[in-house]
Structure 1
């Protein structure tokens, strides 16, 4: 996997000209060399034709992971997808959800997995569309939890007054959005008052980093997803007993969103969806590393509950991402 800054990604992608593996340019209706008579100079027709062409390289955006096994799983997913589609698939590592949202908006990546909140922002900003949801199946709902070190005297969020607190990522549902709502509910304070309730509020950069900070006693409190504790512990990065849960959010519907750039060809999208929905049965270890059972059919409306929570915080996406 290549680790790139946003500028480096732009430069690399601009220079990539890779021919399709084995079978040449693929289009909806056969060869790209047929059916062009009488269309020379017709910009509208050329744009319509381009919309049916599969890209020479499909680019998947991934977030950095402390656990090497998770990174290898992401690379394997890209390799398997490329073999299934018959085209080149590349992975690029972004620093955070915000970079992945911007990368899709500027057409530097074609597919990525967002958390529910990151997904609804990507829909607004980047024209993202839902391919499938990563979770434990229909009807399953996760939560966000507030955690402290195992030997912390804190028994509730109230006990963290004047302490330092970590959110995971500005665009994270379980590491930022829902924990904010939980803190407001538990303490009876406004969103604006959160910053002054704690001595310091910052972002760790990911659930794994928040859990490591709490397990090592480097932070007083943090927000993470309920399944992340066992997932990160299973990867050997922490011991589950080194952290303790003191609060939990309301259930979160939707799950992780596998999203694609909205202007991709329809037949490519259907082929990717077919691959994703069958991947759990063929490769359960991939989802085990991700703390889920597989990709499942989903609709955009499944994420309306997350939209409602975002509205209750009375903050725009721009404010949430600061």
Structure 2
């Protein structure tokens, strides 16, 4: 667990350094890199790393497809965490970003970001509380004094829903929850949580139900090595693709048209984010997420400080 904590602290330091860099440019206008007519000279896409590494081929293809659809060069920015994507949107350092449903709520409040499209899956997903299959833990009550890992502070299935599930199972408030465990930390991502659990660096984790089969298929873990001891209600909303509010409407339309048909153009990318397609969606699609966040009795800012 010490190694897991050290990695979590290192990830936090990297995130803070990055945010200082991007915020240092806030004095300049977000449109300073735009051409006449308000079109940006480059479209930067903020995204989380894949399990295969910093950037996989389907993500590289996304940049190529955006360039072809808009006539503007596009490039992928691989972020350390969701908060980094949100801060980059706020500072005008990226034009679009793919994050989780809870991250959407934070981004609309803090970065005035807008919904381009959201993902939709044929497979229902929720949050699961996982332990190793060979562990003695049979319920969340058995985890008292143990080491627990969340994924990312701005993650829906890696923080928001696991917290709500643990609160319900244990009959505790969110403020009482951390003291129930021996230690609580953030791994920096769902894949990192699963690997930490597999390697014995955590006793239990909260993660998306889609992650275990996805990582097992890639050969990084074995599905039979893990066991579910609690799970949440289904998560709604899908993964939102956001855009900076000052982008020209013409460009927003081009990007939306591309993404609404993207399941036929680059299905591997949709698979990499656990989705089948993109749909238009609306802000009200995320109201159930807002209700769960409200039940935690903590603001997004408080949750991000965890």
How far the C-alpha of 1:255 sits from its partner, in A, is 0.9
Instruction: State the secondary structure of the residue aligned to 2:243.
Output: strand
Partner of 1:200: 183
Q: Distance in 2 between matches of 1:281 and 1:72?
A: 16
Pair 1:291-2:278 in alignment: no
Counterpart secondary structure, 2:281: coil
Match of 1:131 in 2: 116
Among candidates 79, 98, 105, match of residue 113 of structure 1 = 98
Say if 1:94 and 1:70 are closer, same or farther in 2 by CA, change over 3 A: closer
Please report how far the alpha carbon of residue 253 of structure 1 lies from its aligned counterpart in structure 2 after TM superposition. 0.9
Aligned twin of 2:224: 241
1:1-12 to structure 2, matched below 5 A, reads: 5-7=18-20
* Structure 1 residues not aligned, in runs of 5+: 26-31, 33-51
Give the paired residue count: 287
Q: Distance in 2 between matches of 1:276 and 1:196?
A: 44
Q: Structure 2: how far apart are the matches of 1:276 and 1:64?
A: 20
**d(CA) in 1 for partners of 2:163 and 2:189?**
16
- The equivalent residue for 2:74 is 89
Deviation at 1:94, TM superposition (A): 1.9
Show the counterpart of 2:11.
none
Other-structure match for 1:122? 107
Structure 1 residues 225, 116: closer, same or farther in 2, change over 3 A?
same
| Residues 134, 256 of structure 1: 8 Å contact kept | yes
1:6 CA displacement: 3.8
Match of residue 304, structure 1, among 280, 287, 292 = 287
Structure 2: gaps (5+ residues): 1-14
CA RMSD of aligned residues (A): 2.4
CA contact (8 A) 1:165 1:200 kept: yes
Q: Is the 8 Å Cα contact of residues 168 and 203 (structure 1) preserved in structure 2?
A: yes
Check 1:11–1:310 CA distance in 2 against 1; reply closer, same or farther (3 A cut).
closer
Bigger mean CA offset, 284-293 vs 177-186:
284-293
Change (3 A) 1:190 1:11: closer
SS in 1 for 2:228: strand
Answer whether contact 2:133 2:227 (CA < 8 A) is retained.
yes
Residue of structure 1 aligned with 2:233, choices 239, 243, 250 = 250
1:231 maps to 214
Normalising by structure 1, we get a TM-score of: 0.83
1:100 to 85, 89, 114: 85
Partner Cα separation in structure 2 for residue 178 and residue 10 of structure 1: 30
| Conserved 8 A contact 1:107-1:261 | yes
Shift of 1:72: 2.7
The Cα of 1:308 is off from its aligned counterpart by: 0.6
Structure 1 residue 71 corresponds to structure 2 residue 63:
no
Contact 1:163/1:220 (8 A) holds in 2: yes
Is 1:183 equivalent to 2:196 in the alignment? no
CA shift for structure 1 position 129 = 0.7
Residues in 1 aligned to 2:166 and 2:112: alpha-carbon distance in whole angstroms: 31
